[in-house]
């Protein structure tokens, strides 16, 4: 079981939410599909496996709660776990820059520039499918291991505004974009 990867994924998701919505010292619930958890953990998620995971992170994230949902699990991180993430996410400047750029209505070219600045090895692929224009990821996993799908929509004033969706590699591959 890959406890480290699941803890990192939970912390990354909380940090991203805090950047987008603000930090308000409250619990956060995250919904994971069973398939995504299986990719992250390396085995089928069961209540016993999740409880075992919870024990390994309790000192940092507090007492996690798990609830079975349609096609997966809801993981609730208590307020003290969210505070831990808030206080220990200083080195994740790429995510902050990305969220700030989207908030400031950056276009796709500006977002791609952020990826290139974060790593000269960033892979940028033109998807141009119905949902997304680009796929971007860092093959060496630095600054992170996620796959970003970038879309661009026209604003009312005619300018273009980019947005992104972030996936783990295996989930991206499952989608078959």
pLDDT digits (tens, 9 = 90+) for 74-87: 999 999 999 999 99
108 and 59, same domain (yes or no): no
Distance CA 163, CA 110 (A): 11
Q: Taking residues 106-135, what's their average pLDDT?
A: 95
Are residues 29 and 74 in contact, defined by beta-carbon separation less than 8 angstroms?
Answer: yes
Residue 55: what pLDDT? 97
100 and 33 Cβ atoms separated by less than 8 Å: no
pLDDT at residue 32 tops 90? yes
Q: What is the mean pLDDT of residues 22-46?
A: 96
- The conformation of residue 142, written as its DSSP 8-state character, comes to S
pLDDT tier at 90 (50, 70, 90 boundaries)?
confident
What domain range includes position 157?
A: 93-175
| pLDDT over 90 at 91, yes or no | no
Residues 43 and 119 in one domain: no
pTM to 2 decimal places? 0.93
Residue in the block written with tokens 């630095």: 142
Q: How open is the CA angle 131-15-9, to the nearest 5 degrees? A: 70
Percent of the chain with pLDDT over 90: 86
> What are 41's two structure tokens?
């953990």
Under the banding of pLDDT at 50, 70 and 90, the label for residue 63 is very high
- How far apart (Å, rounded) are the C-alpha atoms in residues 74 and 68? 6
The domain boundary, picked from 30, 54, 87, lies at 87
pLDDT at 53 over 80: yes
H/E segment holding residue 112: helix 108-118
Residue whose tokens read 């994924």: 9
Q: Domain of 71: which CATH number? A: 1.10.10
Tokens of 46: 């069961």
Question: Rounded to an integer, what distance in angstroms lies between the CA atom of residue 64 and that of residue 6?
Answer: 13
Final residue of a structural domain among 28, 61, 87? 87
What is the reported pLDDT for 113?
A: 97
Give me the number of domains the chain comprises: 2
Residues 101 and 170 occupy one common structural domain: yes
Of the chain, the percentage scoring pLDDT greater than 70 comes to 99
Distance CA 98, CA 136 (A): 12
Rounded to an integer, the average pLDDT of 1-12 is 92
| Domain stop point among 50, 67, 87 | 87
Domain identity same for 22 and 70: yes
Domain identity same for 71 and 100: no
Q: What digits encode the pLDDT tens for the residues 13-30?
A: 999 999 999 999 999 999
Domain co-membership, 73 together with 113: no
The pLDDT mean for the chain works out to: 94
Q: What is the model's pLDDT at position 4?
A: 94
Residues 39 and 110 in one domain: no
């Amino acid at each position: 079981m890959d406890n480290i990867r699941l803890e990192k994924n939970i912390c990354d998701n909380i940090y991203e939410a805090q950047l987008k919505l603000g930090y308000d010292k409250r619990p956060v619930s995250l919904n994971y599909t069973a398939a995504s958890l299986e990719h992250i953990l390396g085995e089928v998620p069961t209540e016993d496996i999740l409880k075992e995971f919870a024990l390994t992170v309790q000192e940092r994230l507090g007492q996690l709660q798990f609830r079975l949902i349609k096609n997966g699990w809801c993981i609730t991180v208590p307020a003290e776990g969210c505070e831990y993430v808030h206080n220990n996410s200083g080195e994740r400047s790429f995510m902050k820059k990305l969220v700030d750029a989207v908030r400031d209505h950056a276009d796709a070219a500006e977002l791609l520039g952020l990826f290139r600045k974060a790593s000269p090895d960033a892979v940028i692929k033109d998807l141009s499918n119905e949902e997304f224009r680009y796929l971007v990821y860092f093959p060496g996993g630095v600054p992170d291991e996620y796959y970003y799908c970038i879309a661009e929509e026209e604003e009312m004033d005619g300018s273009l505004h980019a947005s992104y969706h972030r996936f783990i590699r295996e989930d991206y591959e499952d989608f078959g974009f």
